[in-house]
Amino acid sequence: MDSIYFSEEHHIFRKSLKDFVKKEIRPYAEEWEEAEIYPREIFKRMGDLGFLGVSYPEEYGGGGGDYFTTIVFAEEISKCGALGFAMSVLVQTDIASSALNEFGTHEQKLKYLKPVLSGEKIIALGVTEPNHGSDVASLETTAIRDGDHYIVNGSKIFITNGTQADLITLGVRTGPGEGEKGLSLIIFETSTPGFSVGRKLKKMGMHSSDTAELFFDDCIVPVENLLGREGEGFYAIMLGFENERLVGAAMSYAGAEVALELSLQYAKQRIQFGKPIGQFQVISHMLAEMATDIEAARQLTYHAAWLKGNGKPCRKEVHMAKVFSTEVATQVANKAVQIFGGYGYMQEYEVERIYRDVRLANIGAGTSQIMKNIIVKLLGL
């Protein structure tokens, strides 16, 4: 689509990614949804083709693109037929790896970011704990300094890519200090003795993405795996969340767009009372509302992405984009199921999956309530 934000390069990139998604992901989406996991090899294949980390520096295997290259990536990967897989890829490319790119030393990036962007290693983000979800500042997993290493103890829950991850960008309490003051981020290797994966969790949607409980029992992590400065992890987590929330916004309206396209086709084909259902004004107006809401979500996300890409303050706009786009996505998916009638309730129709998948969007990466708390704080209340 034409837009002031995209150049010819973005269009070329979009086309090549679209072709890849059509040939190498969409045909397998069903299989991965049923297996409730994607194969590791697909990350390697994407890494070989240069699709992982499109905006990261080329020195570490990234594409060297601008922030809108990431937006194109998030949009097109989200049209692959399984938002769960898209989410897992986005965790790899933007959610779990962004702190590494932002705060990692050259050596850390060579050791950890490079194999993530080549798809050889899978990375997860470990922040949420059984007793601390929205309240990130209270997290309890400890990393106690002992000479030249930390000893990590605790547990995490709802971790995307959790069963397959080789690396975890891990939120830990290094202390001293209460709340956000004592938090740090470390890069954790899952081959470390004392680490274990608990249950692979059964979910309402996003089936092609694995979600797990993780346990840390006296795990020894070298001090050089600290990301950024000790005690400044909360800031690093929040900055990472900004990225996560922006790609989450793009993923949401892109998923909603698929639901709209399917609904439009269906409204032209499905005949009731002797005419296509799209000729009933209630249905056509629903389609018009869906298209308008998606466009508004997209433009707000583009605006926030432009601010972010140009190094301007963007916190308020990023959170507005996240809450608006994710709420739009759930409403659009709901309308799509309604337009499909009973068929929309059947698993063989993609709108059923989209409806279940997008329900996560206004919970994961910070709930809508938390987004609004942040927005209103930024408004000065």
Active site residues: 244
In the bound state with ligand FAD, the residue whose beta carbon lies nearer, of 135 and 295, is 135
Instruction: Please report whether residue 200 would count as binding ligand FAD according to CB under 6 A.
Output: no
134 binds ligand FAD (CB under 6 A): yes
Name residue, tokens 């980390």. 53
Instruction: Using alpha carbons, select from 73, 83, 81, 74 the residue that is nearest to residue 209.
Output: 83
The length of the chain in residues reads: 381
Nearer to ligand FAD, 110 or 197 (CB): 197
Identified binder of ligand FAD from the candidate list 10, 22, 133, 264, rule CB under 6 A: 133
Residue of 130, 38, 56 whose CA lies nearest to 96: 56
Residue from 110, 197, 367, 378 touching ligand FAD (CB under 6 A): that is: 367
Task: Give the residue with the Cβ less far from ligand FAD, 127 or 294.
Answer: 127
Give phi and psi for 213, each to the nearest 5.
-95, 140
Question: Within 10 A of 159 (CB to CB), how many other CB atoms are there?
Answer: 25
In the complex with ligand FAD, which residue's Cβ is closer, 125 or 183?
125
* Local structure of residue 223 (DSSP, 8 states): G
127 binds ligand FAD (CB under 6 A): yes
Q: Which stretch binds ligand FAD (CB under 6 A): 48-56, 105-113, 123-131, 266-274?
A: 123-131
What DSSP string describes 308-359? HHTT---HHHHHHHHHHHHHHHHHHHHHHHHHHGGGGGSTTSHHHHHHHHHT
- C-beta of residue 80 within 8 angstroms of C-beta of residue 135: no
Choices 3-11, 58-66, 145-153, 357-365 (CB under 6 A): range interacting with ligand FAD: 357-365
Number of residues that bind ligand FAD (CB under 6 A): 23
Structure tokens at 269: 């084909």
91-110: contacts with ligand FAD (CB under 6 A): 91
Query: What's phi and psi for 164, nearest 5 deg?
Result: -110, -10
77 neighbors 201 (Cβ within 8 angstroms):
no
Closest approach, Cβ 375 to ligand FAD, in A, equals 12
Q: Are the beta carbons of 209 and 85 closer than 8 angstroms?
A: yes
**Residues within window 14-43 making contact with ligand FAD, judged by CB under 6 A:** none
Closest Cα partner for 88 from 232, 254, 212, 216? Answer: 212
Beta carbon nearer to ligand FAD, 125 or 219: 125
In the list 61, 126, 240, 255, the residue contacting ligand FAD (rule: CB under 6 A) is: 126
Measured from the CB of residue 75, what is the shortest distance to ligand FAD in angstroms?
20
Binding to ligand FAD in span 135-194, by CB under 6 A = 158-160
- Site map 211..250 versus ligand FAD, x via CB under 6 A: x---------------------------------------
Nearer Cβ to ligand FAD (265/369): 369
**Selection from 244, 203, 242 nearest residue 74 by Cα:** 244
Positions touching ligand FAD (CB under 6 A) are 91, 124-128, 133-134, 158-160, 203, 206, 211, 360, 363-367, 369-370, 373
